[in-house]
């Protein structure tokens, strides 16, 4: 298939006769392009499948507060997954189905080690994120999330409320290998790496508790929505999307995904920049 346009007849065969009742969407590199925006075409396509009674939900490493604009603007308001599985949440009811924050003592040790190594750090609670000092990487990241962090000392913060994720970042040109060193020192935790294509030398890592299991989250959401795996379609482009892509009845990898991500999916659509999600949803709406 082309990286910019999918074969409608082939996709009609993929989708015809499927009883799709729930759709999960990754955010960065899937719903959002390099500019951090989405198209009106995508908005129309989502509205079309929702009108058929298909539930639409987020499944992302982002915090819930960093996707509120998508929940509101695109109607992705069914119960979904945030923080790579550390939080499973229903935006419509406000109910948390799963909460798996980091252990406070591990957070404290990580923060202290990050200070020693001069690593940019964000502390993410369920509803906000915090920084201790301003940083150019942080300025860009907050623009990317569309949320402004709160400036506060971490020591009192981490004992006051649960921390669902630590995000750390470095410029590899100046601090090569530092994040991998932290991963070696804290090998009991989950380190999920990401980058911003517009800043290729910057490395980001999200650190979550190992009990934040995506398989458990997927099972929880199936039961909550009362659907079977073959009634689920999932879209994604990254390593952290593999579980949902492989377990959904129809897992769709984006054209911009790496080969190993495409290998676990059932099909590959166009890249996010070419409205790959919208192209599939339009055909789904036509054949349903």
What are the pLDDT digits (tens) for 61-109? Answer: 999 999 999 999 999 999 999 999 999 999 999 999 999 999 999 999 9
Q: What is the average per-residue pLDDT within 279-284?
A: 96
Q: Grade residue 288 by pLDDT with cuts at 50, 70 and 90.
A: confident
- As given in the structure block, the two tokens for residue 27 are 């955010």
16 Cβ neighbours under 8 A, 6+ residues apart: 287
Least confident piece of the model among 174-183, 197-206, 212-221:
197-206
* Domains detected in the chain: 8-99+212-287 (3.40.50.1000), 104-208 (3.30.1240.10)
Contact between 153 and 132 under an 8 Å Cβ cutoff? The reply is: yes
Q: Is the pLDDT of residue 2 over 50?
A: no
What are the pLDDT digits (tens) for 160-171? Answer: 999 999 999 999
42 Cβ neighbours under 8 A, 6+ residues apart: 31, 74, 275, 277, 278, 281
What are the pLDDT digits (tens) for 207-218? Answer: 999 999 999 999
Strand partners, 203: 170
Q: Grade residue 5 by pLDDT with cuts at 50, 70 and 90.
A: confident
Q: Which of 29, 22, 38, 34 is nearest to 228 (CA)?
A: 22
- As given in the structure block, the two tokens for residue 1 are 């298939």
Q: Give dist(CA 264, CA 35) in Å, integer.
A: 27
pLDDT of residue 192: 87
Contact between 66 and 76 under an 8 Å Cβ cutoff? The reply is: no
Longest CA span, the chain = 58
Q: How wide is the angle at C-alpha 30 spanned by C-alphas 28 and 32, nearest 5°?
A: 55
Strand partners, 81: 59, 88
225 Cβ neighbours under 8 A, 6+ residues apart: 21, 22, 55, 78, 79
Q: What is the pTM of this model?
A: 0.92
- 142: burial class by Cβ within 10 Å (0-12, 13-18, 19+)? middle
Q: Is the pLDDT of residue 1 over 70?
A: no
pLDDT of residue 25: 98
What are the pLDDT digits (tens) for 267-278? Answer: 999 999 999 999
pLDDT of residue 190: 93
pLDDT of residue 158: 94
What are the pLDDT digits (tens) for 224-265? Answer: 999 999 999 999 999 889 999 999 999 999 999 999 999 999
Question: For residue 228, what are the CA distances in angstroms to 2, 36, 287?
Answer: 31, 32, 20
Q: How wide is the angle at C-alpha 123 spanned by C-alphas 121 and 128, nearest 5°?
A: 135
Q: What percent of the chain has pLDDT over 70?
A: 99
Give me the chain's average pLDDT, please: 94
Q: Give dist(CA 183, CA 192) in Å, integer.
A: 10
Q: Is the pLDDT of residue 3 over 70?
A: no
What stretches of the chain show up as alpha helix (H) in DSSP?
8-15, 40-50, 68-74, 104-117, 136-145, 154-160, 178-185, 214-225, 242-247, 259-264, 276-287
Q: What is the DSSP letter of 54?
A: -
Contact between 31 and 194 under an 8 Å Cβ cutoff? The reply is: no
- 140: burial class by Cβ within 10 Å (0-12, 13-18, 19+)? middle
């Amino acid at each position: 298939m082309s990286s910019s346009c999918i074969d409608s007849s082939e996709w009609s065969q993929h989708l015809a006769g499927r009883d799709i009742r729930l759709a999960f969407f990754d955010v960065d590199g899937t719903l959002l392009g390099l500019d951090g925006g989405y198209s009106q075409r995508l908005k129309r396509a989502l509205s079309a499948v929702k009108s058929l009674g298909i539930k639409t939900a987020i499944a992302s490493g982002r915090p819930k507060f960093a996707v509120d604009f998508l929940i509101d603007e695109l109607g992705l308001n069914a119960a979904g997954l945030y923080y790579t599985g550390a939080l499973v949440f229903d935006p419509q009811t406000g109910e948390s189905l799963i909460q798996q924050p980091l252990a406070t003592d591990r957070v404290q040790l990580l923060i202290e080690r990050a200070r020693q190594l001069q690593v940019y750090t964000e502390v993410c609670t369920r509803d906000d994120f915090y920084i201790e000092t301003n940083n150019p990487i942080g300025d860009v990241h907050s623009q990317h999330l569309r949320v402004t962090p709160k400036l506060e000392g971490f020591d009192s913060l981490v004992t006051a409320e649960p921390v669902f994720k630590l995000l750390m970042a470095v410029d590899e040109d100046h601090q090569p290998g530092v994040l991998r060193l932290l991963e070696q020192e804290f090998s009991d935790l989950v380190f999920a790496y990401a980058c911003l294509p517009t800043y290729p030398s910057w490395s980001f890592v999200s650190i979550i508790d190992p009990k934040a299991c995506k398989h458990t989250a997927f099972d929880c959401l199936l039961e909550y929505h009362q659907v079977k795996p073959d009634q689920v379609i999932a879209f994604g482009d990254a390593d952290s999307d593999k579980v949902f892509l492989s377990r959904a009845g129809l897992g769709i990898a984006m054209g911009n995904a790496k080969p190993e991500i495409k290998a676990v999916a059932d099909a590959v659509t166009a890249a996010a920049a070419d409205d790959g999600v919208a192209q599939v949803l339009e055909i789904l709406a036509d054949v349903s």
